[in-house]
Amino acid sequence: MRKLALGAAAVVAASLVTVPATQAMAAPDLASLVTAKDTTKHLDAFAEIAKYNGGNRSAGSPGYDISVKYVVSQLKKAGFTPKTQAFPFDFYRQTGKGALEQTAPGQVSYKEGTEYNTMEYSVAGDVTASVTAVDVPAPGDAGSSGCEEADFAGFPAGNIALIQRGTCNLIVKSENAKKAGASAVVMYNRPDVEGPITGATQGTPAGLPVMSITHAIGRQLIPLAQAGTLKLRVKSETLNERRTTHNVIAETKHGRADNVVLLGAHLDSVPAGAGINDNATGSAAILAVAQKVNKLGKKNIKNKVRFAWWGAEEINLVGSTYYVENLSEADRAKIALNLNFDMLGSPNGVRAVYDGDDSSGAGTNPPAGSGAIEAVIKGYFAKRKLPTVESEFNGRSDYGPFIEHGIPAGGIDTGAEGIKTPEEAKLFGGTAGQPYDPCYHAACDGLKNVNYKLLDTNVDGVAFATQTFAKSTLPVNGEARRRAALKAAAAPKSTTDVHGHSLR
């Protein structure tokens, strides 16, 4: 997944948000109907699929295709009529370790995996050239290195660009470098993240070899590049080609078709591993909820609930973007809200709720109604005396295409490569100073890489939010239950307002 940066402040929701009266009598309780076993059996299945299909479930692989078949089969058994949506994407595979070496002023061979990675969608190539450091941020700052074409003013054609990760999409940096005449890109990580850039997704072919390195190595190389003495060898061994993969979509028979509650989770892993925390946990959670949602009955499903398992999320949200952009404007308007669940059981995780009201001041300007989704989810956990923190609402998961079209969104995650703070360790346990998920985008993201207790409580939150909004989306988009709307429609209509002014 393209991961969310968790808010630095760990804030426990102080009180339960008032739930609209239209929801108060909801029964039976979906959170009680969905058991831990319902979720873990799906995790076991996804792990087994990966085990016998190359060790992963990445888009375009047999492991992903069989994961699609598994979800479809489980949905049919639960009474759904699922559909698969085909879409094209840029397939990528690393065919060898490649190499990253300093050839001047010293001789250094860097270690693959711990000191450098080949970034996804790097093209194959073997380049040895001088290095130019681009728009170097101050030490400790994220900066916006390489995000603007102007950052490359005076860049010597044929040189390798040394760029820091941060602010804009990775592919933007690489594309700007290519336009400036760079022969390759070496991207060093942000100062707040250990190791090279994991997953290292750019989303589309970069057009030149691209490597990632640790922040520490990057800072070591900057003065050498600025002195004009640094030369690097960048060798990328990769395959890029166009392929087709699928989303899986299913929805309840009951409920308003013009006020849809859409739950989504990405089904694909990265090529490095099975992707059990990222994101079999989210996929399993919404599948378990789908299998029990019809037990709520027609009277409690006033709005259709649509479930979506997205393909190629790890390639830059390709599946969810394709889905949203290929809906008509009228059909997009029928989606009341999007709930997204991406990594629900990080082993050193937190319980993070998307910051839909931007109370952290990140300036993300969420669509109206997103804050209400956050409040409902936080309120549920507060009632159970379970702490929450806020997750920055920056569009780096499959809700991104929805909020780009003004559709309210919300969800839960438990953290990726970010570092747990001491305040968060006090709230949730675990180890401060360590990643939320030490196996993020790595081969070790298997069944042992899941905090099952944290997952279980988060699945309860998924179920609660589903049931709440299936009954009414009034706090989000002003749409109450149809019964309330019909009652209002039957009431005598006044043709003047309280001041006697005509309403016609």
* Burial per residue of 59-86, b for 16 or more beta-carbon CB atoms within 10 angstroms, e otherwise: bbbebbbbbbebbbebbeebebebeebe
Residues 441 and 310 in one domain: yes
| CA–CA distance, 300 with 222 (Å, rounded to integer) | 60
Using alpha carbons, select from 276, 266, 306 the residue that is nearest to residue 290.
306
Q: What is the DSSP letter of 397?
A: S
pLDDT greater at residue 444 or residue 92: 444
Asked whether residue 482 carries a pLDDT value surpassing 90, the answer given is no
Residues 113 and 224 in one domain: yes
- Verify whether residue 313 is a known catalytic residue: yes
The residue range of the domain holding 472 is 21-92+242-485
Asked whether residue 189 carries a pLDDT value surpassing 80, the answer given is yes
- Mean of per-residue pLDDT scores for the chain: 90
Residue 16 lies in a domain: no
Residues 231 and 246 in one domain: no
For β-strands 210-213 and 116-118, DSSP reports them as antiparallel
Q: What is the pLDDT of residue 483?
A: 42
| CA–CA distance, 12 with 15 (Å, rounded to integer) | 9
Asked whether residue 180 carries a pLDDT value surpassing 60, the answer given is yes
Q: What is the pLDDT of residue 202?
A: 67
Give yes or no for a contact between 119 and 170, defined as CB atoms under 8 angstroms apart: yes
pLDDT greater at residue 173 or residue 121: 173
Residues 85 and 103 in one domain: no
Six-digit token pair at 333?
A: 């308007």
Residues 364 and 454 in one domain: yes
Task: Among 236, 264, 287, identify where a domain stops.
Answer: 236
Residue 81 lies in a domain: yes
Residues 202 and 326 in one domain: no
Q: What is the pLDDT of residue 201?
A: 58
- Prediction pTM value: 0.78
* Burial per residue of 118-132, b for 16 or more beta-carbon CB atoms within 10 angstroms, e otherwise: bbbbbbbbebebbbb
pLDDT greater at residue 20 or residue 419: 419
Residue 3 lies in a domain: no
Asked whether residue 484 carries a pLDDT value surpassing 60, the answer given is no
Q: What is the pLDDT of residue 12?
A: 37
Q: What is the pLDDT of residue 363?
A: 83
Convert the pLDDT of each residue in 284-329 to its tens digit.
999 999 999 999 999 999 999 999 999 999 988 999 999 999 999 9
Residue 62 lies in a domain: yes
Question: In three state form, how does the secondary structure of 244-308 look?
Answer: EEEEEEEECCCCEEEEEEEEEEECCECCCCCCHHHHHHHHHHHHHHHHHHHHHCHHHCCEEEEEE
Residue 155 DSSP SS3:
coil
Residue 57 DSSP SS3:
coil
Residues 224 and 278 in one domain: no
Convert the pLDDT of each residue in 60-115 to its tens digit.
999 999 999 999 999 999 999 999 999 999 998 889 999 999 999 999 999 999 99
Q: What is the pLDDT of residue 485?
A: 40
Which CATH number belongs to the domain containing residue 191 in this structure?
3.50.30.30
pLDDT greater at residue 502 or residue 91: 91
Q: What is the DSSP letter of 502?
A: B
Active-site entry in 120, 175, 313, 314: 313
Q: What is the pLDDT of residue 191?
A: 93
Mean pLDDT on 267-272: 94
* Band of residue 499 on the pLDDT scale cut at 50, 70, 90: very low
Residue 103 lies in a domain: yes
Q: What is the pLDDT of residue 316?
A: 85
Contacts of 328 (CB under 8 A, 6+ apart): none
Convert the pLDDT of each residue in 1-56 to its tens digit.
444 444 433 433 333 344 444 444 546 999 999 999 999 999 999 999 999 999 99
Q: What is the pLDDT of residue 343?
A: 98
Task: Among 215, 236, 257, identify where a domain stops.
Answer: 236
Q: What is the pLDDT of residue 3?
A: 42
- Domain count across the chain: 2
Full strand arrangement of the beta sheet holding 335-341: 83-94, 238-251, 303-310, 256-266, 335-341, 409-413, 352-354, 389-391
Residues 429 and 469 in one domain: yes
Residues 457 and 394 in one domain: yes
* C-beta atoms surrounding 286 within 10 Å: 28
Q: What is the pLDDT of residue 480?
A: 65
Which CATH number belongs to the domain containing residue 351 in this structure?
3.40.630.10
Q: Could you tell me what percent of the chain has a pLDDT over 90?
A: 82
Asked whether residue 179 carries a pLDDT value surpassing 90, the answer given is yes
Residue 134 lies in a domain: yes
Using alpha carbons, select from 354, 343, 427, 349 the residue that is nearest to residue 390.
354
Q: What is the pLDDT of residue 444?
A: 98
| CA–CA distance, 405 with 385 (Å, rounded to integer) | 35
Residue 4 lies in a domain: no
Q: In a 10 Å sphere around its CB, with 0-12 CB exposed, 13-18 middle and 19+ buried, how is residue 20 labelled?
A: middle
Six-digit token pair at 468?
A: 């709440």
Mean pLDDT on 461-477: 98
Residues 328 and 469 in one domain: yes
For the CA atoms of 5, 7, 12, 13, the dihedral, rounded to the nearest 10 degrees, stands at -90
Q: What is the pLDDT of residue 44?
A: 98
Residues 52 and 128 in one domain: no
Mean pLDDT on 245-258: 98
Convert the pLDDT of each residue in 360-414 to its tens digit.
988 888 999 999 999 999 999 999 999 999 999 989 899 999 999 999 999 999 9
Convert the pLDDT of each residue in 200-248 to its tens digit.
556 678 899 999 999 999 999 999 999 999 999 999 999 999 999 999 9
Residues 226 and 273 in one domain: no
Task: Among 236, 269, 290, identify where a domain stops.
Answer: 236
Residue 149 lies in a domain: yes
Q: What is the pLDDT of residue 199?
A: 57
* String of DSSP letters for 336-362: EEEEEE-----TT---EEE-TT-TT--
